[in-house]
Amino acid sequence: MKRFNCFYIMAIAPAIVCGQQSLNIIDLYHDFQGDIPARSIRANANIGTYAFHEGIGGIAFESIAVPSGAGVTHISLDYDSGGFSVAIDNLKIYPPLPDWQLIPTAVFADSPDHVLFSPLGDAGAGREARCKYHPALLNTLAGLRLFEADMLNLPHLLWDLPKDRNGEYILAGSEQFHVPCRNDTIEQKLYDELCGDIKPFSSYVLTDKDANISFDIQDGMIRFTGNPYYLFTKNASDMDHINNLKRELAQVYADIEAYAERLLGSKYSPILNPRTNLGGLLKAVEDNRSEKAFNPYAAHAVAVAISKLDSLNSLSDAEIGLKLDVLYQYSAAFNENWPLLKAYNPPVYETVENIAWWAAFFRYVKQTNPVNWSGFIKKVAGRTVKDAPDVYTPTSYDINYFKMIRE
């Protein structure tokens, strides 16, 4: 869950700097040693639930687009020597969607997953990456742009783009018209709303749930309506109840340990601590049943405590007191700033829009014309992206305070 401290530093697992080196005053890292499963995520979005916002967060698109008019009766897709094309009834259209966006978006839309990016991966010992991506977005420029879109809580950095080892901005040919330029007016407005003293939220996700994405044909082109948006939430957990449960849990472990020591006598050792080795402790208790000095009272007390532990472990988030409030009104008000975000960083937010729109459109075609979709995705999924630079998507990042001072 993102905490809105504008100078928040993410925990960094051991990593090797690779490819892109910096995003303004943020250093980006890629772990060469992390394998694909450790750097990727396959998950659905349960928007509004504590478990999703606390455990995954990030960016999730799940919409299925619909035609905005009654005239569309048949859609088919193709990719041939002329590039990507869409046939709508008797009209054939060649959308200006670059391969570096088309290919990962189509592969993502073909999957049953919703989550494209999560900043809430493993934070310990480098076993897995902190920042995770859907496999279709891993090590792609599109994935890098989504990573940037998730950094809304750093409005004073959001305008910039990553640079390569030569200090050049990492851009696809279709983005060459843009040179990052800081806009103090937009930055201040975003900062005031996101980092001010009266901010009403504690986390956010970028989603298209209930965004009402639709499409129409205008001037021989496909036009979309409905935008992805940031959905803000506030942690509303019952901390008194949670702390009571923590104390109850601690007491249960203490009871298990005390009665196990009484039951096992000299055979008990710290290695059988129930907090770290409950399985080993239970095996030792079971093996002790054949002893002449077996204490049935202590064994019964251990069994009762284990039953209590199972009950505590089976509590739902709501029963534990873990909950959040979805701030629909604030979210709607903030997302009136979407045009400002696009003006602040066009490559990032135009990419976000394209991925959300076309993923929703592809899901519509997949649903309404599955035979055509199956043939199309076979053509697209096997293609190599050649219209964008090679990118290693960051597994973690850190604020470089030396650069901040120089700023």
**Residue 330 belongs to some domain of the structure:** yes
**Residue 342 belongs to some domain of the structure:** yes
**Residue 142 belongs to some domain of the structure:** yes
**Residue in the block written with tokens 């039953």:** 307
* Cα 15 to Cα 128: distance, rounded to the nearest angstrom: 11
**Residue in the block written with tokens 């035979």:** 371
Q: What is the pTM of this model?
A: 0.81
Domain span holding position 71? 22-236+323-406
Q: Are 118 and 41 in contact (CB under 8 A)?
A: yes
If asked whether residues 50 and 199 sit together in one domain, one would say yes
- 117 to each of 30, 40, 309, 324, 326, how far by Cα in Å? 15, 9, 35, 21, 20
Q: Are 356 and 91 in contact (CB under 8 A)?
A: no
Q: Choose one of 286, 320, 354: the last residue of a domain.
A: 320
* Cα 32 to Cα 15: distance, rounded to the nearest angstrom: 7
Q: Choose one of 320, 345, 376: the last residue of a domain.
A: 320
If asked whether residues 118 and 60 sit together in one domain, one would say yes
If asked whether residues 222 and 112 sit together in one domain, one would say yes
If asked whether residues 381 and 336 sit together in one domain, one would say yes
Q: What is the pLDDT of residues 300-318, one digit of tens each?
A: 888 888 888 888 888 887 8
Q: Choose one of 279, 297, 320: the last residue of a domain.
A: 320
Q: How far apart are the first and last CA of the chain?
A: 28
In this structure, the number of other CB atoms found within 10 A of the CB of residue 406 comes to 8
If asked whether residues 219 and 287 sit together in one domain, one would say no
* Domain count of the fold of the chain: 2
**Residue 13 belongs to some domain of the structure:** no
Q: What is the pLDDT of residues 165-206, one digit of tens each?
A: 888 899 999 987 788 888 999 999 999 888 876 778 888 999
Return per-residue pLDDT of the chain as tens, 407 residues.
443 333 232 333 333 344 466 787 888 888 755 677 888 999 999 998 888 998 899 999 999 999 987 667 789 999 998 899 999 988 899 999 999 999 999 999 999 999 999 998 875 555 678 899 999 999 999 999 999 999 998 888 899 999 888 888 999 999 877 888 889 999 999 998 888 767 788 889 999 999 999 999 888 899 999 999 999 999 877 788 888 888 989 998 898 888 888 888 878 888 888 888 888 888 888 887 766 556 778 888 888 888 888 888 888 878 887 788 999 999 999 999 999 999 999 999 999 999 999 999 999 999 999 999 999 999 999 899 999 999 999 998 888 777 766 55
**Residue 5 belongs to some domain of the structure:** no
Q: What is the largest CA-CA distance in the chain?
A: 90
If asked whether residues 205 and 78 sit together in one domain, one would say yes
